[in-house]
Amino acid sequence: MNNFAIGVDLGGTNLRIAAVDEHGHLVEKITLGSKIPPSRDHVIDDMCAAILGLTEKYKNSASLLGIGIGIAGILDIRSGLVRESPNLPGWVDYPVRAEIERRLDTVVVLENDANAAALGEQWLGAARNFPDMAMITLGTGVGGALVLRGKIWHGMLGMAGEFGHTTIEPEGNPCGCGNRGCLEQYASATAVVRMAKEAIASGGALVLARAAQSDAEFNAESIYSLAIQGDEDARRVFRRVGRALGIALATLVNSLNLPMHVIGGGVSHAWEIFSPAIFEELRRRSMVYAATAPTDPMAAGQGASTRKTIITRALLGSDAGLYGAARLPMMAAVTRR
């Protein structure tokens, strides 16, 4: 086996740990529990035990390059602290890097989960061979990340990439961040449900209304199912997703003139339904896009050499963050060599 690293994804609802080799092959993946355990020490115990298990198993045939951990929340990358995390309430100002380095005696690299996912897509997914790229992740909220010259662009304090809070409608729906009309208010799973409920409340969206009553979960996926079955009200909700993404992407393309933009996260499963609206807005709203648009924006597999502005869906699904996390210590190792 080649040299390998351990990637940890502590971003979603469960804890996942994988051994990934230098060429990007997933050697083994462990998924722990259906939910992240409530106690912080319990999470760290489980994580370290799983990592030790994997490293013991493979250490005779290959060398370990380190451990990368993607965590949802606000991190202080430099000092290796979790500042604040919605899914990990007991982790405020917790020095997670130092603790794991102490327990396992190896290099640990932390990264925000959205950044780890972007690094994964850039290494092995939709943005392969594109050292400059942006990713927008449409989940419960809308996350984002920038990779410039092959490295995460953190900005001054690690807060860069918050494309989810691009203003789309200056007097639009209030957002948790304090702004109004953020992209997140039109393109997250939460927004999809809200917009469907607005359509129901305004009357006429009969299919949506029936589904909302009969389906106890009634989530973005239910609305997506109705949209592919042809319900016009459900489709309209996703067109609003596409329009908002198009407005945000127009500003991003005009500002950075990147060649590659990857749309990931759960809502991106509805790509076929919302993406035509993205391209329509982009052509109209971004002169940089208009000057560099591919003849067929939906065509896949375009190389970096085409010098076109590509907007495409993510390829690695929920594994993107795991691959990206494993990539972190590899990049650090290249720098050290």
Least distance from C-beta 220 to a second copy, angstroms? 23
Tokens read off for 233: 């009200």
Q: By CB under 8 A, name the binding residues for a second copy.
A: 132, 144, 146, 148, 153-163, 165-170, 177-180, 247, 250-252, 254-259, 284-288, 290-292, 307, 309
Residue 138: strand, helix, or coil:
strand
Q: Is 137 helix (H, G, I), strand (E, B) or coil?
A: strand
Closest approach of Cβ 284 to a second copy, in Å? 6
- Min dist CB 259 to a second copy, Å, is 5
CB nearer to a second copy: pick between 137 and 309: 309
Q: Closest approach of Cβ 39 to a second copy, in Å?
A: 29
Residue 183: CB atoms within 10 A of its CB come to 29
Q: Tell me whether residue 219 or residue 257 sits nearer to a second copy (CB atom).
A: 257
Comparing CB distances to a second copy, the nearer of 32 and 288 is 288
Which string of b and e fits 156-182 if b means at least 16 CB within 10 Å?
eebebbbbbbbbbeeeebebeeebebb
Shorter beta-carbon distance to a second copy: residue 15 or 252: 252
Bridge partners (DSSP) of residue 71 are: 10, 112
Closest approach of a second copy to the CB of residue 108, in Å: 24
d(CA 93, CA 159): 16
Measured from the CB atom, the residue of 179 and 225 that comes closer to a second copy is 179
Helix (H, G, I), strand (E, B) or coil at 158: coil
Q: Which is nearer to a second copy, 146 or 205 (CB)?
A: 146
Please state the three-class secondary structure of 43-93 as a single string.
HHHHHHHHHHHHHHHHCCCCCEEEEEEEECCEEECCCCEEEECCCCHHHCC
CB 12 within 8 A of CB 318: yes
Measured from the CB of residue 331, what is the shortest distance to a second copy in angstroms?
17
